[in-house]
């Protein structure tokens, strides 16, 4: 058959395989049928193109056929949701995960016990605790997660050593800073250090190949999927905790606090590793879920952003501006950024790609307009407020996000105009990752000295 027909058969097969109850063997069977039909129709004088169209038509609507497969093989839909069976490599991967999950749980408990200090004013789980416990929270667990990924991904030893040295330098830096009591920069370090460490996790996930655009995109997908799994684990943990408290209350009310102090931090830390393991073990489920969530929420956010942009343009910002508003806009832009990034993966899954592109572009443009309004209002009044560490951190993040979204809008618009694939949007996002990493690193290690650890 001609190359054109082959490629059309390939496309058709991909569409059939998108039905989750359809296995590769089913697709083989259907493809064989299609080929035979094309050959027979060709034998009675039809052109290959005509024969393909008629043969596909006779096989029926792909959606209807795959739905029928799903009705007959509904068990297959569920099998994919079940946990992987611990066979062959599966058992080893499970044990590795367990070892690191326990290590994370132990690390957080050791830190918690070491940070116990009767004189401290800060309370964690009802116990007076040193301030460094909260500041270094990420340092206790995220390096363990990075270690787990480095092992699973067979990261070369030299790269592991470099990464470990980087984490050690970071840990020393943020802990030798002489923070003033009630210091704002210390709070900023506590907020930004986990993000810096998340980039370390990303380097481990990419097995050190941090320059590869494809690996970076994998890391972005991993981040989204991991967040979904971790949220699910936290929800399950919440139910478990509530029931535990209810069950213990009548017989041992004095033990509740004790149990919770041991179970909650351990569970939360171990869950980080379990979620990473689930992402790798069960890739296919969430790869189906993340695009669906993105597809649902992109139009909703687009409507909200258009309304907000028009509203602010008409009403003006007025004196409403403060740091909280800037933080709200930081979060909003992060969400829009997530919609853009996960929209790239969603693009192949949704058929009305161009409509979604347009909606996404509208959302991005409105977010930019809104943000510029807020920024202009802020800069006209910056003299009144003066610079504080919090304001620098919020404003800097805002500018970093704004530049990212401006680039995203530019490439989305080009994509819409030329009908090209999401390749350039993807390249822009993966290329921008170091900017984010540099910014959070700067806030964590450069901002405190600049502001005299205030």
Partner 1 sequence: MQFEVYDAGVNIDKDLVAAMATPLVLAILVEGSSYGYAILKRVRELSGGELAWTDGMLYPLLHRLERLGSIRSQWGTSDSGRPRRYYEITPAGREQLAEQRRQWATANRTLGGLWNLAGAEA
Show the tokens assigned to 402.
């704004």
Residue 381 makes contact with partner 1 by CB under 8 A: no
CB of 70 to partner 1, least distance (A): 9
Q: Which is nearer to partner 1, 25 or 254 (CB)?
A: 25
Exposure letters 150-173 (e unless 16+ CB within 10 A, then b): bebeebeeebbeebeeebeebbee
The CA distance from 268 to 99, in Å, is: 15
User: Quick one: which segment of 20-28, 45-53, 81-89, 286-294 binds partner 1 (CB under 8 A)?
Assistant: 20-28
Are 50 and 44 within 8 A, CB to CB? no
Candidate list 8, 9, 13, 30; residue touching partner 1; CB under 8 A: 30
Q: Which is nearer to partner 1, 39 or 169 (CB)?
A: 39
Q: Which is nearer to partner 1, 26 or 136 (CB)?
A: 26
CB nearer to partner 1: pick between 42 and 237: 42
Q: Of 60 and 156, which has the nearer Cβ to partner 1? A: 60
CB-based burial, 307-337: b 16+ in 10 Å, e otherwise = ebbeebeeeebeeebeeeebeebbebbeebb
d(C-alpha 454, C-alpha 449), whole Å: 9
205 sits in which H/E element = helix 184-205
Q: Residue 57 Cβ, how far from partner 1 at the closest point, in Å?
A: 8
Backbone angles phi, psi at 371, to 5 degrees: -65, -40
| Residue with Cβ nearer partner 1 (4 or 29) | 29
Nearer to partner 1, 23 or 212 (CB): 23
Distance, in Å, from the CA atom of 297 to the CA atom of 115, rounded to the nearest integer, reads 42
- Binding track over 31-70 against partner 1, x by CB under 8 A: -xx-xxx-------------------xxxx---xx--xx-
Per-residue x/- marks for partner 1, 136-175, CB under 8 A? ----------------------------------------
Contact call for residues 103 and 144 (beta carbons, < 8 A): yes
CB of 83 to partner 1, least distance (A): 25
Name the nearest CA neighbour of 196 among 173, 218, 221.
173
* CA distance linking residue 316 with residue 163, whole number of Å: 48
Q: How many residues bind partner 1 (CB under 8 A)?
A: 21
**71-79, 184-192, 310-318, 382-390 -> range binding partner 1 (CB under 8 A):** 71-79
Q: Which two tokens stand for residue 376?
A: 């202009």
- The reply to whether 79 sits near partner 1 by the rule CB under 8 A is no
The correct pick among 29, 257, 322, 348 for binding partner 1 (CB under 8 A) is 29
Nearer to partner 1, 57 or 431 (CB): 57
Residue listed under structure tokens 């939360």:
268
73 belongs to the binding site for partner 1 (CB under 8 A): yes
Q: Look at strands 123-124 and 127-128 and give their pairing.
A: antiparallel
- Contacting positions for partner 1 (CB under 8 A): 25-26, 28-30, 32-33, 35-37, 57-60, 64-65, 68-69, 71-73
């Amino acid at each position: 058959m001609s190359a054109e027909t082959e490629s059309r058969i390939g496309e058709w097969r991909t569409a059939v395989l998108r039905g989750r109850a359809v296995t590769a063997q089913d697709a083989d069977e259907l493809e064989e049928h299609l080929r035979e039909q094309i050959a027979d129709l060709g034998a009675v004088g039809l052109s290959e193109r005509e024969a393909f169209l008629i043969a596909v038509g006779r096989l029926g609507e792909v959606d209807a056929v795959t739905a029928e497969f799903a009705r007959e093989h509904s068990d297959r839909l569920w099998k994919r949701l079940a946990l992987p069976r611990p066979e062959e490599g599966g058992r080893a991967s499970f044990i590795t995960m367990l070892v690191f999950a326990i290590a994370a749980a132990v690390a957080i408990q050791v830190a918690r016990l070491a940070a116990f200090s009767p004189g401290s004013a800060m309370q964690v789980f009802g116990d007076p605790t040193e301030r460094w416990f909260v500041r270094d929270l990420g340092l206790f667990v995220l390096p363990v997660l990075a270690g787990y990924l480095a092992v699973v991904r067979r990261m070369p030893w030299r790269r592991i050593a470099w990464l470990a040295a980087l984490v050690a330098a970071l840990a020393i830096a943020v802990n030798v800073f002489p923070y003033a009591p009630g210091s704002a920069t210390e709070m900023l370090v506590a907020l930004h250090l986990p993000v810096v460490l998340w980039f370390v996790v990303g380097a481990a996930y990419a097995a050190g190949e941090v320059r590869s655009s494809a690996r970076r995109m994998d890391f972005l997908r991993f981040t989204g999927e991991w967040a979904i799994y971790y949220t699910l684990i936290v929800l399950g943990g919440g139910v478990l905790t509530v029931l535990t408290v209810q069950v213990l209350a009548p017989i041992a009310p004095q033990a509740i606090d004790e149990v919770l102090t041991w179970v909650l931090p351990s569970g939360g830390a171990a869950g980080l590793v379990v979620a990473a393991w689930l992402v790798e073990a069960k890739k296919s489920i969430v790869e189906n879920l993340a695009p669906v969530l993105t597809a649902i929420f992109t139009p909703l956010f687009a409507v909200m952003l258009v309304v907000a942009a028009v509203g602010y343009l008409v009403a003006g910002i007025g004196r409403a501006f403060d740091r909280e508003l800037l933080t709200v806009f930081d979060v909003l832009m992060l969400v829009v950024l997530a919609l853009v990034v996960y929209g790239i993966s969603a693009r192949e899954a949704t058929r009305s790609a161009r409509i979604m592109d347009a909606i996404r572009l509208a959302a991005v443009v409105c977010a930019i307009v809104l943000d510029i309004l807020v920024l202009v209002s802020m800069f006209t009044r910056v003299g009144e407020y003066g610079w504080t560490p919090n304001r620098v951190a919020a404003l800097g993040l805002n500018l970093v996000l704004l530049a990212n979204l401006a680039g995203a809008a530019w490439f989305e618009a080009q994509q819409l105009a030329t009908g090209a694939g999401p390749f350039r949007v993807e390249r822009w996002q993966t290329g921008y990752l170091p900017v984010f990493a540099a910014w959070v690193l700067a806030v964590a290690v450069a901002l405190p000295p600049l502001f005299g650890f205030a």
